[in-house]
Amino acid sequence: MRERAHYLAYNVWAIGFSLGLFYWYFAGEFGWWLPSSYNERTALFWTLLLSLASLPSAIIAWLEPDPVPQDAPATEAKTAR
């Protein structure tokens, strides 16, 4: 499960990073927004760093089934007769 989550997380991150580079390349030419102040660059840096660090854990939490509550009634397995 952990390997699958890391694989998915870094595929998502690689696609996002590629799209970000594509945006950065064309932003100046088309007049799109780019971070210009120190605060904007810092916010972008920390957003990217925290997403890189937490994305595998978020994917594991998303993919794992919900735990069965302790007070849930036990279900009997049905057998074919």
Question: Does residue 38 lie within any of the structural domains?
Answer: yes
Question: Does residue 55 lie within any of the structural domains?
Answer: yes
Q: Residue 7: what pLDDT?
A: 87
Question: Does residue 30 lie within any of the structural domains?
Answer: yes
Region of 39 (left: φ > 0; alpha: ψ -120 to 50; beta: rest) is alpha
Question: Which of the four pLDDT bands, split at 50, 70 and 90, describes residue 24?
Answer: very high
Question: Which of the four pLDDT bands, split at 50, 70 and 90, describes residue 20?
Answer: very high
Question: Which of the four pLDDT bands, split at 50, 70 and 90, describes residue 67?
Answer: confident
Residues spanned by the domain of 42: 2-63
Question: Does residue 24 lie within any of the structural domains?
Answer: yes
Number of domains in the chain: 1
Question: Does residue 73 lie within any of the structural domains?
Answer: no
Question: Does residue 14 lie within any of the structural domains?
Answer: yes
| pTM of structure | 0.63
Residues 58-72 have a mean pLDDT of 82
Sign of CA dihedral 48, 54, 55, 58: negative
Element (H, E) at 34: none
Question: Does residue 81 lie within any of the structural domains?
Answer: no
